[in-house]
Structure 1
Amino acid sequence: MSYRSTVSRQPEALADSLAAAQAELAGLDLAPLGTGLVAVTGVGASSAAAVVVAAELQRRGRRAFAVRSGEMMAGHDLADIVLALSHRGRSVETVEALRKLPRAKSLAITNDSESPLAEAASFHVRLANGGDATPSSTGYTATLLVAGLAVDGIQGASGADWAGLPAQAAALLAGAAEKMPRLAQLFADRRAIDCVGAGASIGTADGASLLIREAARIPASGYETRHYLHGPMESMDETTGVVLFGDTREIELAHNLEEIGVPVLLVTSRQDIGDAGKRTVIHVPEAENLILRGILDIFAAQLLAAELSDAADLTDVQFRYKQTDTKILAA
């Protein structure tokens, strides 16, 4: 299945995952996950998603943090609760993280209820996004959606319009697609691309940088906004590009970068800023729920990665480096 085709399937994949997860959650009593310190974990794109989910838990008043699963494999008693994210549920590090913390209550979110991660967890909720491609598109957003529903199940309803998400996804993808010819020209032949955001958007920036690395093989990195101001941005110039996610300091940062000739994509809910010079703006709806906002923000990055992949003649090219020790094979 091609990358572009899975991105275009986002509305359907989100609708299917919404229905499946709501049905499963209706039959689960998540009260045991209601107190204690929460670790949200995953590897790769799931690690980026974990940052978004942990930020929403913090916003809701929970003590929570994101941690890569490889950092939990030593078995240190880091948390009372573990939310484990893995699309297929076969990531060695994430499964091992749960196995090394048998006293912690855990919730796994995967697309396979018989996966090793599902079997290792106290609770499991299934995705229903269908097939995914490399880099991950529907798997990433479905993971966030189901995590958002699970957080609501643990903490109480947040008021997020999950039912309206598939229609929002369709509208945002259509709007972002109109900006892609401009972005393809401005971001052509970049030697490096930085992705930047604050709070939950640190995870979105990390996920976006991974998309660009995987799809277009362009060196890309994710940074927290305020940290980026303290030196990392100094290497950026007219031969690079920056993708910004946010509504506050990111606006001024977009101006700073454009002034020195850096092409910028700004994904923001602010309506008082638009395209100018080398700055391209994609507007998204405001969302108090940080997981919902993380889903809305990533669509632009997915489409940009597809554009850069096409420009590099890498459309749907598979990974060059084959790993033999990162997935638990099916029996």
Structure 2
Amino acid sequence: MSYRSTIARQPQALADTHAAARAELAGLELSSLDRPVIGVTGIGASFAAAVVIAAELQAQGRRGFAIRAADMAEGHDLCDALIGLSHRGRSVETVDALAKLPSATRLAITNDPTSPLAEAANLHVRLANGSDATPSSTGYTATLLAAGMVVEKLGGGTADAFAALPALASEVLTNAAEKMERLGRLFQNRRAIDCVGAGASLGTADGASLLIREASRIPASAYDTRHYLHGPMESMDATTGVVLFGAGREIELARHLEQIGCPALLVTTADGVADGELLTVIRVPHSDNVIAQGIIDIFAAQLFAAQLSDAAGLTDTKFRYRMSDTKVPQAA
């Protein structure tokens, strides 16, 4: 299945995952996950999702942290409970992270309850996003949605911040699509693109930078908003571009980038921010739940990566590098 077609399937993939996760969570006791320090881990796009999820745990007053799987390789006792993210449940580093924390409560979120990651966990929640493509689109958002529902239940929430997301996905994708031709012109032939956000949006920026690298092979990196102001942005100019997520300092930063001749895309919930000569604004709905916001925000980045991929003549091109040691082998 093509990348663009999986992006177009987001509303259905989210609706199916919401239904599946709701059914599983109805019969799943999460009290053992309610521990003093909760870690969230994954590799690649799953680590970007972990940053978003940890931010929502923190917003609820919990000590939740995104932990790189590599930091857990030695089996150090870094957390009391661990949420492991892997779309297919076969990422070696994430499986090892759970396996080396036998004393911690371990929850896996995958699309396969028989996967190595699910087997390394005490608890499992299944995704139902259907087929995915490379770069990941529905796998990433379904992981966030299922994890968000876990965190919501853990916090005692009953509002279901995720029920409206399938309909919102259609709205956001339609609105964002209107800006893609303009973005294709402004970001043509970039030598590098930075992605910037704060808090949970740093995870979204990380996910966006990975999409750009994978889809268009343009060097892309993610930075925290405030950290970006302390040196990293100095290399940006008329040959580069920046994607920003946020409604605070990111607005002024986007305008400053435009002034120095650097094209910028701002994905924001703020009202009253207009396009400029080099600034493109995509306004998205606001959610009080930062995981739901992370899902809403990534849609524009997915379409943007597809636009850049088409421009580079790389539409649905497969990855060039397939390492032999990143996935647990499937049983014969």
Deviation at residue 271 of structure 1 after TM alignment: 1.1
**Residues 158 and 41 of structure 1: CA distance in aligned 2, closer, same or farther (over 3 Å):** farther
Q: Give the conservation status (yes or no) of the 8 Å contact 1:51–1:65.
A: yes
1:6 maps to a residue whose letter is T
Q: In the alignment, what sits opposite 1:151?
A: 151
The residue aligned with 1:281 is 281
Structure 2: runs of 5 or more not aligned: none
Q: Any unmatched runs of 5+ in structure 1?
A: none
Counterparts of 1:177 and 1:233, CA distance in 2: 27
Name the residue aligned to 2:204.
204
Cα distance in 2 between the residues matched to 1:274 and 1:143: 32
* Deviation (angstroms), 1:320: 0.7
TM-score with structure 1 setting the length: 0.99
Distance 1:325 1:33, change over 3 A: same
Between the aligned partners of 1:167 and 1:158, the Cα distance in structure 2 is 20
Q: Which has the higher mean CA deviation after the structures are superposed, 5-14 or 29-38?
A: 29-38
Q: In the aligned structure 2, how far is the partner of 1:282 from the partner of 1:72?
A: 38
**1:30 equivalenced with 2:54 (yes/no):** no
Q: How far does residue 74 in structure 1 lie from its aligned partner after superposition?
A: 1.1
Q: Which residue of 2 aligns with 1:190?
A: 190
Letter in 2 for 1:281: V
Q: Residue 245 and residue 158 in structure 1: after superposition, are their counterparts in 2 closer, same or farther (change >3 A)?
A: farther
Which string of whole-angstrom CA distances, capped at 9 and with x for unpartnered residues, describes residues 17-76 of structure 1? Answer: 000000000010101111220110000000000000000000001101101112211100
CA distance in 1, matches of 2:274, 2:109: 37
Q: Which residue pairs with 1:61 in the alignment?
A: 61
C-alpha distance in 2 between matches for 1:230 and 1:159: 40
Give the aligned residue type for 1:294.
Answer: G
**2:219 maps to which residue?**
219
3-state secondary structure, aligned to 2:179: helix
Quote the sequence identity (%).
67
Q: Which amino acid aligns with 2:167?
A: A
Equivalent residue letter for 1:106 = R
Matched to 1:57, the amino acid is L
Query: How many residues of Structure 1 are paired with residues of Structure 2 in the alignment?
Result: 331
Q: Distance in 1 between matches of 2:149 and 2:121?
A: 18
Q: Does 1:120 align with 2:123?
A: no
CA shift, 1:159, in A, is 3.5
Cα shift readout 1:114-171 (whole Å, capped 9, x = no counterpart):
0000011010000000010000000000000000000011111164531111000000
Does 1:302 find its partner at 2:310? no
- Give the secondary-structure state (helix, strand or coil) at the position aligned to 2:67: strand
Give the distance between the partners of 1:158 and 1:252, measured in 2 at CA: 36
Shift of 1:322: 1.3
Q: How does 1:120-269 map to 2 (within 5 A)?
A: 120-157=120-157, 159-269=159-269
Does the 8 Å contact 1:158/1:289 carry over to 2? no
Deviation for aligned residue 1:83: 0.6
Matches of 1:71 and 1:32, distance apart in 2: 23
TM-score by length of 2: 0.99
| In structure 2, distance between residues paired with 1:128 and 1:289 | 22
Counterpart of 2:84 in structure 1 is 84
Give the alignment's Cα RMSD to 1 decimal: 0.8
| TM-superposition CA deviations, 1:255-301 (whole Å, max 9, x none) | 11000111000000001101111000001111111000000000000
